[in-house]
Homo-oligomer: A and B are copies of this chain.
Amino acid sequence: MQQDKPEPEGSMEWRSPSNIALIKYWGKQGNQIPMNPSLSMTLKYAFTQTEVKWRPNDGTTQGEFDFFLSGQKVGPKFEKRVGNLIKEMAKAYPVLNDLYFSITSLNTFPHSTGIASSASGLSALALSLLSAAQRATGKADEYPRFLQKASHYARLGSGSACRSIYGPYAIWGGGVNTESSDEYAIPYKPHQDFEIIYDSILIFSEKPKKVGSSAGHKLMDEHFYRQGRINQVRENSIRLLKALETGDFEMWQEVVEQEALSLHGLMFASHEPVLLLEPDTIRFIHDLNAFRAGKGLKVAFTIDAGPNIHLLYADEHREIIRNFISEWIMDHHLQIQVLDDETGKGAKQLFE
């Protein structure tokens, strides 16, 4: 990332993956500061690729841009989010006010699969815009510092996006260790047994979420279980890190599943109760519990703020788990999508 001559026009492209939270981010405060720390596994195949082309604008407008997602002009809501991100970045890089951006973005995963595309989307965007800003000024950061800044800006765009910068795992939120921060995520490397975990994502519903992320996080503001939740995450973070460090799959499963169910439990108990689970979500968990009972399989489910199951498992049980999934889908005559993914390395710059 060395450079010294400003480039008044050019293009930068980044690929940034989605991530699945094992310790859940639920509740925020201030300007995208999380209520509690979170920890995620970075995915490999579900990613967004975003190219930012820049050139000087006509001098009469600020922060103008076009944004095409999969060839379609994005809607006003997402456009506003992008505009806000550019404004935030312009505080540190005023040059952005003098540029016009043409942004094109692609997701590898099908639209409306219930996978949060904001994590990959906003992190790819933050990375590309930050690259553009540094090119345009001729002042590039060293790589670790650049990624940390990108994570910071990604966070302002969408909380979970700050974790997508890094792999194989990422921690966001202060107090987990001396390096973790509320401002940006840091990478985390676990015991080798957890370096490659498979993730089969069962898409039970492609409907858009009934409760948007911001409204969802707001449910924690006055939640009766707020302090209890903060204490719970503290313990779960300690336990999950211990499991990931020592290779303890049993503890890993316990924490991962408790976090998933706690997230939905918190939604259930909100002032306005939220039920995002679908009948098949429940059916799958019951059947999984019956199937794996006593077998000691290295498998755990997690669920985000939606109905879809992420089934996480180790390589040694890959075949038995994939067979279970296939047979379960056949047994219930379901027509659902399954996206097979695995642990990934984080964001990556693309060169022509």
Listed in ascending order, the chain A residues whose CB lies under 8 Å from chain B are 223-229, 231-232, 235, 257-258, 261-262, 264-269, 271, 273, 275, 277-283, 285-286, 289
Residues of B within 8 A of A262 (CB): 268-269, 273
CA–CA, A275 and B232, complex, Å: 19
A258 to B282 CA separation, bound complex (whole angstroms): 20
- Given A224-B231, A258-B269, output 15 extra A-B contacts at Cβ < 8 Å: A224-B225, A224-B229, A224-B235, A225-B225, A232-B269, A257-B273, A262-B268, A264-B265, A265-B268, A265-B269, A277-B282, A278-B282, A279-B283, A281-B282, A282-B282
Docked pose: A267 CA to B289 CA in angstroms: 16
Q: Which residue of B lies closest to A223 (CB)?
A: B228
Tell me the number of copies of this protein. Answer: 2
- 7 smallest beta-carbon distances between A and B, as pairs: A265-B265, A265-B268, A279-B279, A261-B268, A224-B232, A225-B228, A262-B269
A261 in contact with B279 given A228-B225, A228-B226 (CB within 8 Å): no
A289: B residues at CB distance < 8 A: 275
Contacts of A273 in B (CB 8 A): 257-258, 261-262
A278 contact set on B, CB distance < 8 A: 282, 286
* Chain B residues within an 8 Å CB radius of A275: 261, 282, 285-286, 289
Q: Give chain B nearest CB distance to A292 CB in angstroms.
A: 14
Roughly how many angstroms separate A231 CA and B231 CA in the complex, as a whole number?
Answer: 17
Chain B residue with minimal CB distance to A279?
B279
Choose among A271, A273, A279, A285 the residue with the greatest number of B CB atoms under 10 Å from its CB.
Answer: A279
Residue of B nearest to A332 (CB): B279
Could you tell me the distance between the alpha carbons of A265 and B268 in the complex, rounded to whole angstroms? 6
- CA of A286 to CA of B273 in the docked complex: distance in angstroms? 12
28 A-B pairs, CB-CB below 8 angstroms?
A224-B225, A224-B229, A224-B231, A224-B235, A225-B228, A225-B229, A225-B232, A225-B269, A226-B228, A227-B227, A227-B228, A228-B228, A258-B269, A258-B271, A258-B273, A261-B268, A261-B269, A261-B273, A262-B268, A262-B273, A265-B265, A265-B266, A265-B268, A265-B269, A279-B279, A279-B280, A279-B282, A281-B282
Q: Which residues on B sit within 8 Å (CB–CB) of A268?
A: 261-262, 264-265, 268
Q: Which residues of B contact A269 (CB under 8 A)?
A: 225, 232, 258, 261-262, 265-266
CA A330 to CA B225, docked complex, whole Å: 39
A257 to B285, alpha carbons, bound, how many Å? 23
| Bound complex: CA A277 to CA B264 (Å) | 13
- How far, in whole Å, are A228 and B266 apart by their CA atoms in the complex? 11
Shortest Cβ distance from A233 into chain B, in angstroms? 9
- For the complex formed, measure the closest distance between the CB of A210 and the CB atoms of chain B, giving whole angstroms: 10
CA distance A18 to B18 in the complex (A): 50
Point out the residues of chain B lying under 8 angstroms from A267, CB to CB: 265
Query: Separation in Å of the A252 CB from the closest CB of chain B?
Result: 15
Chain B min CB distance to A237 (Å)? 13
Within the assembled complex, what's the spacing in Å between the Cα atoms of A224 and B266? 12
> Given the complex of chains A and B, what is the CA–CA distance between A281 and B285 in angstroms?
14
| Most chain B beta-carbon neighbours within 10 Å: one of A224, A280, A281 | A224
How far apart sit A228 and B227, CA to CA, in the bound complex (Å)?
8
The residue in chain B whose Cβ has the minimal distance to the Cβ of A273 is B261
Q: Which residues of B contact A261 (CB under 8 A)?
A: 268-269, 273, 275
